Amino acid sequence: MKKIHLLILKSFIRPFIVTFFIVMFVLLMLFLFKYIDDLIGKGFEWYVILELLWYAAATNVAMALPLSMLLSSIMTFGNLGESYELVAIKAAGVSLRKAMAPLFILVGLFSVGGFLFSDYIMPVANLKMGSLLYDVRIKQADFFVKPGIFNNTIPGYAIRAKGKSQDGKILYDLMIYDHKTSNTANNVLLAKEGYIYNSPDNNTMILKLKDGVRYEDTRVQKARVYNPRQQFTRFYFEETEQKFDMSAFQMKRTDENLFKSHHAMLNLKQLAHYTDSNARQMDSLRNTVFREIKSYYHYFNDYYKTKDTSERLSNPIRYQKDFITTIPSEKRNMAISSALSQVRYIKDVVMLKADEDAFYSNKDILYNVEFQRKFTLAVSCLLLFCIGAPLGAIIRKGGLGLPVVVAIIFFLIYHIISTVSEKSAKEGNIDTFWGMWMAIFVLSPLAIFLAYKAATDSALFDIEQYRLKLNKALGWVKVRLGMADRAPITQRKSLHDDYMKSS
């Protein structure tokens, strides 16, 4: 028995490790393709990219772990079935359930690890990646001059060079427009050559210029005002330096405390705390609205009660037909005007508070969704293993061919159901519990059905079996039709009636 358990465990762990890293690599490539425009051309150091990929890999565990569990279980039992090792195990008197017992324990440990990972490590990874990705996306692209094209990336300057050296450090035939003081370029600099280098702190770019001239026009400083002493200045130089502030191009890290209250960056204890605080804020808001508009709903009722009871009884039709008749005619316009102003006030209060209430309600939904997600990751690993293991035993195909196709199909079904139901839960169409657990509840009967078929050695995916049944059914139809053609009319009718009854 121990040898059988050891054989199955070894057969499972190797494909699981391989498929986990393959799936993680694919997800990281998708992450890079998604944010490739935010990463290229900004001069990031290699360790910044590596740090971002590390945090992205941690956040992708929630998808990579269930998919690798499904794929490796199908491959494991497909290989065992293809090499007739499952047949040998059953021939030795060991049922499939007993042979899989230690594997269930291992998968259970993976599920517990996935739960702990989603509760303790995933929020930290989301926080680190979210803050780093925010800084990466807002960082400006590095200064880069294309020959013959004006570059406006440096605020207040427009720079053009007709040519540059291969290393990009030397620019030829430079033209620099300085429009920091106004929209008009009142300061123009021309130079035959310029050498680019950075200051030691990389906050300043220095451009050493040679053989040039600077033109300054002071008229633009006093626009639309005639000045008889206005100046147009021209400076010639053999060598000078132009400094540009590059602090905006440097990556600055944002304080992570600004992102800590996001629902994806909280563990179970923090989610419970934030949910309770959010519920108190919603209750306080709704009580405030009720207190503000409460008095306006009793105006007519109180006025109606002050009327003489004998008057109401003597003319009941008057009070039942139209309530405005209870107000004296000389005071009706004033009452209508006052009622309209009160209705407008109530409407403004409700509309103002409705947006705030919707904000708190949406936060409450997101907190509940994230709370349920901590548990669905662990349960999804168990569910997909319970689907993949019997499925591999039934199809009896190993390798990366058919098992990969089947695994992707079932995972897509699970992912689509999970995504659609989660979106419905976030929109408030269904309860958050059902939205997060819908895919698990839908696919659990399938796992039970496949486990039953695998335990009974059912040829569920045997194409030859379905072909034989189809040929048998076609043969039966041909026999009945042939008998009907050769039979008399009365017998044909009888055969037809019998066929209709049987169908």
Q: pLDDT digit string (tens) for 328-382?
A: 777 778 877 877 887 888 888 788 888 888 888 888 888 999 899 889 888 998 8
Q: Is 72 left (phi over 0), alpha (psi -120 to 50) or beta?
A: alpha
The two structure tokens encoding residue 472: 């048998």
Sequence spans of domains, the chain: 1-139+259-445, 157-249, 463-502
pTM for this entry: 0.66
Give residue-wise pLDDT tens across range 253-273.
Answer: 666 777 777 888 888 888 888
At residue 107, the pLDDT reads 87
Rounded average pLDDT over 478-486? 63
Query: Which residue spans within 117-262 are E strands per DSSP?
Result: 157-164, 170-178, 187-198, 204-217, 232-245
Give 290 or 226, the one with higher predicted confidence: 290
Give residue-wise pLDDT tens across range 110-139.
Answer: 889 889 988 888 888 888 888 888 777 666
The answer to whether residues 82 and 394 touch, using CB atoms and an 8 Å cutoff, is: no
The answer to whether residues 384 and 69 touch, using CB atoms and an 8 Å cutoff, is: yes
Q: Name the least confident of 122-136, 233-247, 453-467, 483-497.
A: 483-497
Q: How far is CA 136 from the centre of its chain?
A: 19
Cα 9 from Cα 58, distance rounded (Å): 26
